[in-house]
Structure 1
Amino acid sequence: MKKLYFLLFFCSILLHSQERYFLNSDTRLYTSPNPSADFLGYFKYGAEVRLLSENQNGWYKIQADNLSEGYIQEKYIAKSLNAKDLKVKDPKNPILEGGDAYYGGNHLFVLAAGLKARALPDKSSKIREILFTGDPVPVNYLPINPDEWVNINGSFNEEYSKYTLRKFLGPRPNFDALLKEFDKLDATALNERKTVSERIVELAWNSNYDKLIPAYQRYYEVVKQLNDSKLLTETELNMALAKGLANHKLVEQIIAFTQKSHYSLKSFKTKSVNISLTDLIKTMGNPPKKTRISDECGIYLSDLFYYYPDLEVSVDEKQNQGEIIKVFINENNKFIINSNAILDHTLSEKAFIEKYGTYIEASLKSPHIYSIVMEDSQFRLDFKDGKLFSVEIFYYC
């Protein structure tokens, strides 16, 4: 009989652990079922938890999304969230609510440069993502121990879970304060200057473009001290990029700049990104590969694609039409933005930035890839080994 009771109890716990439960208020994770007990961390409204026990005098033993275990009161647990939830706010809870300019849900910001987000709460586990200073990340449970792990995916889904240490998360860093911190450092404190300057650069990319110039000025000081030729070249490229981005053109100027953009394919000049199927076959021959793709947004001319070694085209065979999606730039293919901006395989990345840096968008997370925004789409230009490699058009869904 005792075995039967144990089995029923175990099955009940297993069932609870598999169901989804949420917190209808801010609360804390306690070490024992007592509001006067020590606590391990803070929960924010909407956090998901796993139940590990039956209700015990108004308390449940639960597991937080970082796999920590403890106790919370039964009144804060719900199977779904609604407008009648308690939503009692804990004034000491450091987790930020949604609604600021950076993130819509519960969150904190990355404080360290090049922070590794891992698949498991383990320093040897797979790296899922590299995060930058100033990146907002979702946080629903925050331990008080700075060396504990935080789940920055916000749920128990192991396929997408991401973890980092508590000490690397906090309120959004202040750019001006970081500049002052760097400027106060002794010139011989190279490691500290490198750490702070990397944070400054990453935070600048997570701010406005006008912050990039003062960020790279300081970083360049450090790079010269390091005397790394490759890093010097890369930093000088980024300084040129910062100058262009800081003087960014207005949207209407950029659209006017790209209005007559088209391609030259083996000397055949297209009309914008469109080409008749007849001209495509005449110029490029029959495609080595044809494939149908899933186009849920309906953004392409057709779901039928022709793939050439240096060209990808969406094709409507019945209408005798083609829409060029991607072109690999080589001796035969050029991207012509207008009569004064002809981009071919000899164009260096630095020359491109110096000439057209005021027209482009860029991101630290996608180095050497630049976009030029249009009304309903954008051109994406990819540079490899310092030369223009490909041009691809992306439509907004």
Structure 2
Amino acid sequence: MKTLVQALLICFTLQASAQSPTLYTSKPTEAYKDKAATQKAGIFISNAHLSYYEKINKRLVQVDRDYESPLYIVDTQNLKEYYTEDAPEAPTPIIEMDEYYGSPHLFTTVAGLKVREYPSSTASVLGTVLIGTAVPIEFYPYYKDAWVPISYNDGYGYIAAQYLGERPVMSELIQAYKATSDVSEQRKYAERILELGWNSEDAATQKAIQFYIDFANKQDETEKVALLKLQLEAIKAMPKEGDTSKVSKLIRKRQFGFALNEKIEPIDGFDIDWIHTYIGYPLDESANLEDCALGDYEGNSYFNSAEFITHDLDHTYKVRKMDMINKNGFIIDNQLMEQYTTEQVFLKLAKGLITLIEPLTHTYYIAVDDVLYSFEFYNNELLRIELIYYC
């Protein structure tokens, strides 16, 4: 199953302080750690964007980077103010393009690779990325302790360059697993197999999950096995792409939607007095013209534990996001879910409705027409539900 994480890892431009115009490398161009060009730092691919730089002289350009020392380019004849068509391909080991990504990239090669806030092993961990995730590369560092910037959660972070390379092959990981009898080594490979499965097409996903179930059973990891079995069942029962008929039917029967004090959201939204009683009063309101989910006369109203789309003329309040606390909830097939609903309970209720699973964040998605419902869990409790609009 291909995850959102991979789709969100887009090309990141090295930056520090703005200067124009943007320069582009017309061919792969080496950069140095020092102005004297005695220590090679790495290589820029063709058409790498250099937006933040300083021209020291005709034969030396300093490229500035956030949180890291600047780089220096002496082959300044390679720097152009325009994109070069048919430029030379990226140097080895960078992969030019393949079935997974359409521009120069490498892949993460270990499970649970940490994304750091800054390029340091002591920096805060923002999260992790799955093994086999494509990472766009504009600059490939030569030194082992280097870091590579990536787009992450609407911002960016850093991952260790030493864990980037060719995409791992499932069959090779399975072979490595079978070649060792050491349980810790088996676990390492089993985790890589599972993560690579989550980052693959459905058939490989199912195979990897079953493989890990077999391993976890031997280790008496009953809770892990129980969750994986339910996730595997959910994948097998996923509706065909574009088929949202089951969810639509539940919505028409008033058996699917946000709930407040066990009352499902009316078609026209909750009454404001009902909201005041069980959620409180708005903390802020806004009308973002760039928010494609908003129509004419609509805006967002932010409460302590929920966000509503409001209509100025009709005075309606429709839920857009809801934290699962107090009287907040969600109904699926007449069953109320609230804060203490577990992933296992949700997976049983939503079987046949779930269209996507994000394993790292324990988030599940249900598509219907032009929207997507996300169900996020934390510590095996339902944390938040959000309505995401396709636009």
**TM-score band, normalised by the shorter chain?**
0.7 to 0.9
Partner SS, residue 134 of structure 1: coil
Following the alignment from structure 1 to structure 2, what is the Cα–Cα distance between the partners of residues 391 and 119? 26
Partner of 1:88: 88
Q: Which residue of the other structure, out of 55, 64, 71, is the alignment partner of 2:58?
A: 55
Which fold has the larger relative contact order, with Cα–Cα distance below 8 Å and residues 6 or more apart in sequence? 2
Question: Larger Rg: 1 or 2?
Answer: 1
Count of residue pairs brought into register by the alignment: 357
Partner of 1:75: 77
Following the alignment from structure 2 to structure 1, what is the Cα–Cα distance between the partners of residues 226 and 184? 21
The equivalences for 1:288-299 within 5 A come to 288-295=281-288, 296-299=290-293
Partner of 2:165: 170
Partner of 1:366: 361
Contact 1:216 1:235 survives alignment (8 Å): no
User: Is 2:30 the partner of 1:28?
Assistant: yes
Distance apart, 1:248 and its partner CA: 1.5
Partner of 1:12: none
Following the alignment from structure 2 to structure 1, what is the Cα–Cα distance between the partners of residues 108 and 183? 23
Contact 2:371 2:390 survives alignment (8 Å): yes
Identity of aligned residues (%): 19
Distance apart, 1:171 and its partner CA: 1.9
Following the alignment from structure 2 to structure 1, what is the Cα–Cα distance between the partners of residues 314 and 247? 30
Q: Which residue of the other structure, out of 355, 375, 379, is the alignment partner of 2:373?
A: 379
Deviations 1:65-93 (A, max 9, x none): 67475654222112x3335x572336x43
What is the identity, as a one-letter code, of the residue corresponding to 1:134? G
Q: Which moved more, 1:100-109 or 1:372-381?
A: 100-109
Following the alignment from structure 1 to structure 2, what is the Cα–Cα distance between the partners of residues 395 and 193? 42
Distance apart, 1:18 and its partner CA: 5.8
What is the identity, as a one-letter code, of the residue corresponding to 1:216? I
The equivalences for 1:98-137 within 5 A come to 98=97, 100-137=98-135
Contact 1:42 1:93 survives alignment (8 Å): no
Partner of 1:303: 299
Contact 1:95 1:140 survives alignment (8 Å): no
Following the alignment from structure 1 to structure 2, what is the Cα–Cα distance between the partners of residues 324 and 380? 13
Partner of 1:204: 197
Contact 1:51 1:62 survives alignment (8 Å): yes
What is the identity, as a one-letter code, of the residue corresponding to 1:391? I
Partner SS, residue 293 of structure 2: coil
Following the alignment from structure 1 to structure 2, what is the Cα–Cα distance between the partners of residues 215 and 349? 20
Distance apart, 1:110 and its partner CA: 0.5
What is the identity, as a one-letter code, of the residue corresponding to 1:353? L
What is the identity, as a one-letter code, of the residue corresponding to 1:44? I
Following the alignment from structure 2 to structure 1, what is the Cα–Cα distance between the partners of residues 73 and 326? 67
Q: Which moved more, 1:196-205 or 1:288-297?
A: 288-297
Following the alignment from structure 2 to structure 1, what is the Cα–Cα distance between the partners of residues 277 and 198? 44
Partner of 2:9: none
Following the alignment from structure 1 to structure 2, what is the Cα–Cα distance between the partners of residues 326 and 94? 43
What is the identity, as a one-letter code, of the residue corresponding to 1:303? G
Partner of 2:244: 254
Following the alignment from structure 1 to structure 2, what is the Cα–Cα distance between the partners of residues 223 and 77? 54
Unaligned 5+ runs, structure 1: 1-15
Deviations 1:246-295 (A, max 9, x none): 332124543442342345544645434x3264xx4257549422521353
What is the identity, as a one-letter code, of the residue corresponding to 1:395? Y
What is the identity, as a one-letter code, of the residue corresponding to 2:273? I
Q: From the superposition, tell whether residues 26 and 293 of structure 1 become closer, same or farther in structure 2 (CA, over 3 Å).
A: same
Following the alignment from structure 1 to structure 2, what is the Cα–Cα distance between the partners of residues 129 and 290? 29
Q: Which moved more, 1:109-118 or 1:17-26?
A: 17-26
Partner SS, residue 269 of structure 2: strand
Partner of 1:8: none
Contact 2:194 2:208 survives alignment (8 Å): yes
Q: From the superposition, tell whether residues 271 and 43 of structure 1 become closer, same or farther in structure 2 (CA, over 3 Å).
A: same
Contact 2:217 2:225 survives alignment (8 Å): no
What is the identity, as a one-letter code, of the residue corresponding to 1:214? K
Partner SS, residue 243 of structure 1: helix
Distance apart, 1:108 and its partner CA: 1.0
Distance apart, 1:94 and its partner CA: 1.9
Partner of 1:149: 146
Q: From the superposition, tell whether residues 122 and 392 of structure 1 become closer, same or farther in structure 2 (CA, over 3 Å).
A: closer
Partner SS, residue 197 of structure 2: helix
Distance apart, 1:365 and its partner CA: 2.5
Partner of 2:13: none
Following the alignment from structure 1 to structure 2, what is the Cα–Cα distance between the partners of residues 387 and 162? 27
Q: From the superposition, tell whether residues 150 and 105 of structure 1 become closer, same or farther in structure 2 (CA, over 3 Å).
A: farther
Contact 1:262 1:336 survives alignment (8 Å): yes
Partner of 1:9: none
Partner of 1:13: none
User: Is 2:187 the partner of 1:194?
Assistant: yes
Q: From the superposition, tell whether residues 390 and 255 of structure 1 become closer, same or farther in structure 2 (CA, over 3 Å).
A: farther
Contact 1:149 1:165 survives alignment (8 Å): yes
CA-based RMSD:
3.8
Unaligned 5+ runs, structure 2: 1-16
TM-score normalised per structure 2: 0.75
Distance apart, 1:305 and its partner CA: 1.6
User: Is 2:244 the partner of 1:245?
Assistant: no
Q: Which has the higher helix share?
A: 1
Partner SS, residue 108 of structure 1: strand
Following the alignment from structure 1 to structure 2, what is the Cα–Cα distance between the partners of residues 122 and 265? 44
Deviations 1:346-396 (A, max 9, x none): 7543133134233212102321x2221111111222345545455332222
Contact 1:262 1:271 survives alignment (8 Å): no
What is the identity, as a one-letter code, of the residue corresponding to 2:248? T
Q: Which moved more, 1:385-394 or 1:373-382?
A: 385-394
Partner SS, residue 343 of structure 1: strand
